[in-house]
Structure 1
Amino acid sequence: MIPVRDDLRALDGYHSAQVEVDVRLNTNESPFPPPDGFRDALASELSRVDWNRYPDRSAHALRADIADLHGVDPTQVFVANGSNEVLQTVLLAYAGPGRTVATFEPTYQMHAQIARVTGASVVEGERGADFTLDPAEVERVLAGAAPDVVFLTSPNNPTGLVEPRERVEQLLASAPGLVVVDEAYAQFSDWTALDLVDDSRPLVVTRTFSKTWSMAGARLGYLVGPTWLVSELDKVVLPYHLDVVKQLAGRIALRFSTEMNERVATLVSERDRISDALSALPIDVFDSGANFILFRPRDVDGRTVWQQLVDRSVLVRDCSSWPRLDNCLRVTVGTPDENTRFLSALTAIVNDDT
């Protein structure tokens, strides 16, 4: 057997429990499928695809449509296979061996994971007990590590916290390198860093089609950033990396923004309902601006609660063994019926009803 690279031996892959249950609320997907019109339009377009030809290498039409959505130039948009490939491409270009990437934990695990896979060193800043980020801690990390890339996730995963605008502005004022704001859940939040993006700032904002556009199965993501940065990404991305199906699916999805906004409104309303119900139980609930909620049972072991939910055919994310997240679980906002079933099951568990 040939050994893996020395710097990868201690790493684990990204895992999320796959359990057969009636109610699956562990991976932050949309509980709603795309509109029927999306399916019909995609099927029609696919019937005319020249399958023997390579796709548009630069996805010009998709980039133009995304640019139109956000009021930017297509040269400011980069698209890839899910936001994780977007992040990987950025790190291949701006991190790598001899460079440093900074994160503020707890946050999305793949930022540090991808950084290490590219060969970069990772420096972890610390959030407070309430998961907020102290400006002094930001300055400590920036001054001490001089990172080449800094990640900030808003809303943060897994905590749900929405970073204030002044925190992004602080990073832009003090960071010596690139600032990446991961906005996978931004449509559920009340503000976005997109209006801070221009060619004078080393800032990129990443987005995904997996959540509000109901396209987790397609694996499509993008970033909006300075033109000079986007042009550099061509040096590291594989040729023809984005297939014709994804390009078509992304363009067609953008025609259904009204339906997307309706789904977001429903999920935000359900998120508030879940949060209110959890707050009435012996549970610590963390404010969320995303399509999920992090919570911590006070008197019951988190892993035990997770298993008892599975026993009732409800699956949430077990974060109880993650660093800094002792006893925590995370629930994705599902359909109203799924949410009611989750709340009923959890209420019975924490009240020790058999």
Structure 2
Amino acid sequence: MAYRLNEKIRDLKPYDPISGDFSVRLDANESFLPVPQKILQKIAEAVILASYNRYPDPLAKELCQSLGEYYHVSPDLVTAGNGSDELISIICSAFLMKGDTMLTLSPDFSMYRFYASIAEAKSKQYFKKPDMTIDIDQLIAAANASQAKMILFSNPCNPTSLGLKREEVRRLITSVDALVVLDEAYMDFWEESMLDEVENYDNLMILRTCSKAFGMAGIRLGFAVANRTLTNALKAVKSPYNVNTLTQRTGSVILKEGQWLRSCIEEIKSSRDMLSEKMSVLENNYSQRMHVYPSVTNFLFVKIAQAEEVYRELLKSGVAVRYLGDFLRITTGTKEENEKFMQAFEKAIRL
């Protein structure tokens, strides 16, 4: 008899990002800011001294110390990961039992439901209102009615660019029995983080990434913050050497550059605001065709008629954005990249 894949992976397809040679890449929500030469030199000095014949520090202590200092949290509550994607996968597989219910929101980051399916958990969805906002009372009711063991969502949201304020997040955490996992990947661009309150709750875990604001997408670095009980459990179930030596050394160096990191955030926010202003002018001219959502992230979320046609016209112009059905998600870029995008978008929308 021939071996057959099991049904949960039989029809899966590998992740397929946009490929091709595009002069402007605004599709992946990366930072457009390169690491300065003087910091690259510090990284080079740090990594050249590493013992590459030895396994990396399994607890990434120096890296967690740097993360804790930058974000003003105890390093003992920090768990480093090979990108926050790895941590999402671990959390779903370890904190959910087969048949448990995980509640996600829609629209939201699609990989949440994928990882739940691999963990053989049931995935229930709370659908946001037509304006993409969240009715917190309805969300609480949905969580309790489904007896969810975990609620996992991004705040601010990818892809809607909207955020849920702290007081509403607190109400959710204290009104459910589920573990609430907040993916704060874009919270560096907003001021509503729950990081400083994480020890107040026994059912809160926060995920962060260094890919969006800090220009570290290439080294795959994310981290989780939770109370000691949850942190100890997470460290126990992750693989022992999940963050490699190069990432640990590089991350530790960059995270000590607080002034530069804060300037990156402000520059990205400024670029986003300028792009948003220009897109809002277009929205006034094409109000029957497009709507730009307010953004507290490093990207814009735009509802647009004939979105696929506009998307393909942008590709023809050498501009890559993210196509999401009736929507486009546009990462903010350099001034030159934003200008090229606007020229291509104005041309495409007139067709």
Q: Indicate the TM-score class for this superposition, using the shorter chain for normalisation.
A: over 0.9
Measured in 1, the distance between the counterparts of 2:207 and 2:107 equals: 19
Measured in 1, the distance between the counterparts of 2:171 and 2:331 equals: 31
Q: 2:65 matched to 1:64?
A: yes
Measured in 1, the distance between the counterparts of 2:124 and 2:12 equals: 16
Describe the shift of the 1:259–1:199 C-alpha distance in structure 2 as closer, same or farther (beyond 3 A).
same
Aligned to 1:158: 159
Aligned-partner SS, 2:34:
coil
- CA drift of 1:140 comes to 2.6
- CA drift of 1:157 comes to 0.2
Contact 1:317/1:329 (CA < 8 Å) preserved in 2?
Answer: yes
Measured in 2, the distance between the counterparts of 1:12 and 1:144 equals: 33
- CA drift of 1:26 comes to 0.2
Corresponding letter in the other structure for 2:61: H
Aligned to 2:302: 295
Measured in 2, the distance between the counterparts of 1:169 and 1:187 equals: 19
Contact 1:148/1:178 (CA < 8 Å) preserved in 2?
Answer: yes
Measured in 2, the distance between the counterparts of 1:179 and 1:216 equals: 25
- CA drift of 1:107 comes to 0.4
- CA drift of 1:93 comes to 1.9
Measured in 1, the distance between the counterparts of 2:98 and 2:270 equals: 45
Contact 2:66/2:252 (CA < 8 Å) preserved in 1?
Answer: yes
- CA drift of 1:272 comes to 1.3
- CA drift of 1:338 comes to 0.1
Measured in 1, the distance between the counterparts of 2:103 and 2:11 equals: 19
- CA drift of 1:316 comes to 0.5
Corresponding letter in the other structure for 2:332: V
- CA drift of 1:74 comes to 1.9
Aligned to 2:194: 193
Q: 2:314 matched to 1:313?
A: no
Contact 2:46/2:250 (CA < 8 Å) preserved in 1?
Answer: no
Aligned to 1:328: 327
Measured in 2, the distance between the counterparts of 1:347 and 1:234 equals: 49
Q: Deviations over 1:157-202 (max 9, x none)?
A: 0000111112211221122121111011111113211122006431
**TM-score, structure 1 normalization:** 0.93
Q: Name whichever of 330-339 and 183-192 sits farther off.
A: 183-192
Describe the shift of the 1:64–1:3 C-alpha distance in structure 2 as closer, same or farther (beyond 3 A).
same
Corresponding letter in the other structure for 2:296: G
Aligned to 2:349: 350
- CA drift of 1:10 comes to 4.8
Aligned to 1:323: none
Q: Name whichever of 246-255 and 270-279 sits farther off.
A: 270-279
Q: Name whichever of 272-281 and 24-33 sits farther off.
A: 272-281
Contact 1:188/1:289 (CA < 8 Å) preserved in 2?
Answer: yes
- CA drift of 1:114 comes to 1.2
Aligned to 2:75: 74
Corresponding letter in the other structure for 1:340: E
Contact 2:73/2:195 (CA < 8 Å) preserved in 1?
Answer: no
- CA drift of 1:3 comes to 2.7
Corresponding letter in the other structure for 1:346: F
> What are structure 2's unaligned runs of at least 5 residues?
none
- CA drift of 1:11 comes to 4.3
- CA drift of 1:87 comes to 1.2
Measured in 2, the distance between the counterparts of 1:12 and 1:101 equals: 23
Measured in 2, the distance between the counterparts of 1:237 and 1:334 equals: 35
Q: Name whichever of 43-52 and 178-187 sits farther off.
A: 43-52
Aligned to 2:121: 120
Measured in 1, the distance between the counterparts of 2:16 and 2:123 equals: 20
> What are structure 1's unaligned runs of at least 5 residues?
321-326
Q: Deviations over 1:191-235 (max 9, x none)?
A: 211122006431111111111110100001001111111111233
**Matched residue pairs, number?**
344
Q: Deviations over 1:42-79 (max 9, x none)?
A: 11112111111111111111112212222222221100
Aligned-partner SS, 2:3:
coil
Q: Name whichever of 24-33 and 188-197 sits farther off.
A: 188-197
Aligned to 1:52: 53
Measured in 1, the distance between the counterparts of 2:126 and 2:13 equals: 21
> Where in structure 2 are the equivalents of 1:1-354 lying within 5 Å?
2-198=3-199, 200-281=201-282, 282=286, 283-298=290-305, 301-320=306-325, 327-352=326-351
Measured in 2, the distance between the counterparts of 1:82 and 1:280 equals: 37
Aligned-partner SS, 1:231:
helix
- CA drift of 1:302 comes to 0.5
- CA drift of 1:13 comes to 4.0
Q: Name whichever of 92-101 and 309-318 sits farther off.
A: 92-101
Aligned-partner SS, 1:27:
coil
